[in-house]
Amino acid sequence: MKIQSPPGMRDFYPEDMRLQNWLFETWRRVSRSFGFEEYEGPIFEYLDLYTLKSGEEIVSQLFNFKDRGERHFAIRPEMTPTLARMVAARANALPRPIKWFSIPRMCRAEKPQRGRLREFYQWNIDILGVEDPLADAEVIAVAVEFFRQIGLDRNDVVIDINSRPLAAAQLARLGLPEERMIDAFDLIDRYDRLTPDEFRQRWDAVLGSHVPGGRIEADYIHADLPHILDYAGELSPAAEPARQQFAALRTTLNALGLEGYYRVNPKLVRGLAYYTGAVYEAHPGQGSLRALMGGGRYDDLTGLLDGPRVPGTGFGMGDAPVLELLKQLDRLPELAESLDVFVIDAGPEYFGAALNLVGDLRRAGLSVDFSYKRTGVSKQFKQASARRARYAIVVGAELTKRKELTVKNLSTGRQELVAADRLRAGPEAVLKTV
């Protein structure tokens, strides 16, 4: 019986793992260059951790189960609830600012789509314990630096930013009651995935009794930038701090040299209920791929877990859409397996000595392999080339006669005899001279 991998899941063959490891290494390098520390959490959590934050409707989107003790768990669909739980548990002992990153494997019980799978890896960057919009600017700067390092510029990727409090103030001005804001955000967040007629129909069916969808389009979604940014503060004094914070965010982004990498987008509100301030998403400059990154400020999440209030801001970036974009732009890196050394025996009588050399070189920290079949020297050289080895070392008569080994640089074709004791004493230094 032929069994395939489950829908929305992936097999990672060695060539896929090379690409995945390259991506993870880049994520880690960028994170550490900004002073972030890595953390991890369990692959599944109590289901209540997710329903507490997102409501009972989230259950249908999760792979959830009960264990033998009738405890209800869910495989993690995101990392922010785990982060909030961990920080809440040690909030008073953790030094501020808390700058953490993670690259967890996660699952969502959703219909697989291009760039959005049921199982995926996600890079999470978060700063907690900082109220200042400087923290929001910093995490956005991390994302931009990553894009730069993988060869994507401001023509390839743009980061949309907006303010949830300012969006709420604008919608309140148009007549929407506060208790319906989450419903409104959810619909506005889907605007670009719907036709205008579909948006108006869905809006009017849910919220039309308060304000028609056509007016939302005209006076909010398609309103000009000064109107969106400034009028809320003039209308509602309560919105003035949010206006000042959003202005400070843009000023800081410009000071960090990110002007042109971001734009203010009133359609960006992100449907998750826990966002309390600035929100941001990265999108391809062209094409129809989903968001590459999404996040925002969440200042009250730890309080839901009976911890002290710890303000936070951060984003998640999935591996699948990033790799899909690089593939679409024909910018995937060329990665190939490589060895430091391939050891060749000149005959079966030298195989024991060859294995002894293999062990010595591996203990010295080199990646080393050899042929499992006793074949001729020429065939072993072909194996060395196929494995993209940097060097081949031949163990043969020279070792018996003069205690020497033949070392060949497979890139340049240069080869020379090297004293076996000298090679074992400092293999990396010796190989560099060949």
Q: Tell the residue number behind the tokens 């730890």, with chain if given.
A: 302
List of residues 6+ apart from 26 with CB closer than 8 A? 146, 149, 150
Question: What CATH number is given to the structural domain containing 25?
Answer: 3.30.930.10
Q: Is residue 1 part of a domain?
A: no
Q: Is residue 334 part of a domain?
A: no
**Is residue 17 within 8 Å of residue 334, measured between CB atoms?**
no
pLDDT score of 353: 96
pTM attached to this predicted model: 0.89
Q: What are phi and psi of 187, to 5 degrees?
A: -75, -45
Based on the fold, state whether residues 72 and 153 are members of the same structural domain.
yes
Length of the chain: 434
Q: Domain containing 68: what range?
A: 14-328
Based on the fold, state whether residues 191 and 322 are members of the same structural domain.
yes
pLDDT score of 303: 80
Q: Where a domain ends, among 328, 350, 375?
A: 328
Based on the fold, state whether residues 21 and 127 are members of the same structural domain.
yes
Based on the fold, state whether residues 290 and 229 are members of the same structural domain.
yes
Based on the fold, state whether residues 47 and 88 are members of the same structural domain.
yes
Based on the fold, state whether residues 165 and 295 are members of the same structural domain.
yes
Q: Is residue 5 part of a domain?
A: no
Based on the fold, state whether residues 319 and 344 are members of the same structural domain.
no
pLDDT score of 279: 95
Closest CA to 341 of 431, 433, 434: 431
pLDDT score of 233: 53
Question: What CATH number is given to the structural domain containing 375?
Answer: 3.40.50.800
List of residues 6+ apart from 176 with CB closer than 8 A? 184, 207, 210, 211
Q: Is residue 4 part of a domain?
A: no
How many domains would you assign to the chain?
2
Residue 4 burial (C-beta neighbours within 10 Å; 0-12, 13-18, 19+): exposed
List the structure tokens of 409.
């640089």
Q: Is residue 6 part of a domain?
A: no
pLDDT score of 227: 61
Based on the fold, state whether residues 304 and 375 are members of the same structural domain.
no
Q: Where a domain ends, among 328, 349, 365?
A: 328
The per-residue pLDDT for range 118-177, each reduced to its tens digit, is 999 999 999 999 999 999 999 999 999 999 999 999 999 999 999 999 888 889 888 999
Based on the fold, state whether residues 127 and 269 are members of the same structural domain.
yes
Angle value at C-alpha 403, between 397 and 409, nearest 5 degrees: 75
The per-residue pLDDT for range 317-351, each reduced to its tens digit, is 999 999 999 999 999 998 988 899 999 999 999 99
pLDDT score of 230: 56
pLDDT score of 423: 94
**Parts of the chain with a pLDDT under 50:** none
Q: Is residue 395 part of a domain?
A: yes
Q: Where a domain ends, among 301, 328, 355?
A: 328
Based on the fold, state whether residues 312 and 349 are members of the same structural domain.
no
pLDDT score of 213: 92
Based on the fold, state whether residues 92 and 44 are members of the same structural domain.
yes
